[in-house]
Homo-oligomer: A and B are copies of this chain.
Amino acid sequence: MAATKGVCFPQGFLSSGIRSGIRKNRLKLDLALVTSQTRAAAAAVYTTNKVKGAPILVTQEHLADGYAQAIIVNSGIANTCTADGHAIAGAMCALVEQHAGIPQGDVIVASTGVIGEPLPIMPIATGMPDLVVGLKADSLNAAHAIMTTDTYKKEAGVTFTLGGKECRIGGMAKGSGMIHPNMATMLAFLTCDAAAEPSVLQAMLKEAADDTFNLLSVDGDTSTNDMLCILSNGMAGNPPVTDAESPDGKVLQGALKEICRQLCKLLAADGEGASHLLECNVHGAATVADARKLARSVVSSNLTKAAFYGADANWGRILCAMGYSGADFNPAKVEVVLRSEAGSVIVCENGAGVGLDEDFAKRVLTEKAIHIDITCGDGAADATAYGCDLTYEYVKINGDYRT
């Protein structure tokens, strides 16, 4: 049975993952490679952090022409804030050229892990033959190799039709801390077999990120190493998409948003220490920008997140987080409903509290996935943001991450 998700879901992609030993006392896989059979249109969205990891800078150079053919990623060390980071990231790409025959200028490189520790090139060089030999149409090892504190691998897949041809997007991502709007320590790699112009692909990827990954928050810390990228190799045989506004462009845009949304939910649910997945749906905002600001402020609020950890319907904190979001809205019109598989409970109408069955609310909030439905009454714009609760476990994980 063929895979229905992951980076090998579309035609013409192989992947591999090994344990190179970048970090001594780690048994887990730490080095991944993804290759396309042919050179592919490529696009990427990067962290907005002013301190950018060296791999980001090298990838930006390599994608300047809009094409790439491989992705190499290590976990464990971020290759950021070190003196030789740029040279090391470049060397990783050169190793791909040497062992897999793909020009280093067509290689995307990414790293995730501790900032400030030097990334040793030797384990990567030593492991490269095995990494290349291991390439196959199976994404399992690659999806594991990019994980850091993630508790499970994150893969998704979407099928769609362009010009009568079935096309596919596959993807893998890793979280799970330092995640906040505008590309936090979040790496997501998409593969696609549709044909599309690089510039159109870039615009679509940006729009998909704004509507999904940039509305995802685990802890408010925007990482130095975030990257969302796509390789689209055209092997599906569709007429190339050259206009985002064309019917085919809209189909591709929809598929891109869908796979990003699937990966976001997986990331949020696996936020460091998370015990609840939070999904905040804002309806009826004046503009999309306002809707997005409101939704992401709610899922980013430590106080709101801690309340959901305690299954406490402390909706005042939701109003508070909306209030400091920077969005334009009328607090007096706001309605808030909390919803889960156990039912839904209205907690605020016209900006003020309504009588609340605390026992029932507690039951609603004890479920794993919680929806916060906010209606503004200011317009017709919507947005959805994803996050998780703030738990003891988050503090524990981050109190001794390095040691």
A residues touching B (Cβ–Cβ < 8 Å)? 48-52, 78, 80-83, 114-118, 177-178, 180, 182, 219-224, 300-303, 306-307, 309-310, 312, 314-317, 319-325, 327, 329, 331, 348, 350-353, 390-392, 394-403
Query: Given B306, B309, B319, which contacts A115 in the complex, CB threshold below 8 Å?
Result: B319
New contact pairs (8) apart from A116-B316, A306-B398, A312-B399, CB-CB < 8 Å = A115-B319, A178-B303, A220-B300, A221-B301, A221-B321, A302-B302, A307-B399, A394-B395
Nearest CB of chain B from residue A284's CB, rounded to whole Å: 17
Q: Which among A117, A348, A398 has the highest number of chain B CB atoms within 10 Å? A: A398
Q: Out of B221, B300, B316, B403, which one reaches A114, CB within 8 Å?
A: B316
- Least Cβ distance of A276 to chain B in Å? 11
Say whether chain A's binding surface is mostly helix, strand, loop, or mixed. Answer: loop
CB distance from A25 to the nearest CB of B (A): 15
Q: Top 6 A-B pairs ranked by shortest CB distance?
A: A115-B316, A310-B399, A51-B323, A306-B398, A116-B316, A49-B323
- Which residues of chain B are near A50, meaning CB under 8 Å? 322-325, 327, 329, 331
Closest B residue by C-beta to A82 = B352
Q: A78-B316, A394-B306 are in contact. Are A324 and B48 (CB under 8 A)?
A: yes
16 A-B residue pairings within 8 Å (CB atoms)? A48-B324, A81-B316, A115-B316, A115-B319, A116-B316, A180-B324, A221-B301, A221-B320, A306-B398, A307-B399, A307-B401, A310-B398, A310-B403, A390-B398, A391-B395, A392-B396
Residue of B116, B391, B396 near A352 (CB, 8 A) is B116
Number of copies: 2
Name A219's contact: one of B48, B80, B302, B401 (CB within 8 Å).
B302
Assembly CA distance A350 to B82 (angstroms): 9
Report the bound CA distance from A208 to B320 in whole Å.
Answer: 25
Taken together as a complex, chains A and B put the C-alpha atoms of A399 and B396 apart, in Å, by 16
Known contacts A50-B329, A324-B50: A395-B398 contact under CB 8 Å: no
Interchain CB contact (< 8 A) of A81 among B82, B222, B321, B351: B351
Known interface pairs A114-B316, A303-B178; A399-B222 also in contact (CB < 8 Å): no
For A398, give its contact among B49, B180, B303, B321 (CB under 8 Å).
Answer: B303
CB pair B320–A51 under 8 Å, yes or no, is: yes
A216 to chain B, nearest CB (A): 15
The smallest beta-carbon distance between A287 and chain B, in angstroms, is: 15
> A299 vs B394: C-alpha distance in the bound complex, in angstroms?
18
- Interface residue from B312, B324, B395 paired with A222 (Cβ < 8 Å): B324
A182: B residues at CB distance < 8 A: 324
Across-interface contacts of A399 in B (CB, < 8 A)? 306-307, 309-310, 312
Q: Which residues of B contact A223 (CB under 8 A)?
A: 320
Distance of A396 Cα from B331 Cα, bound (Å): 29
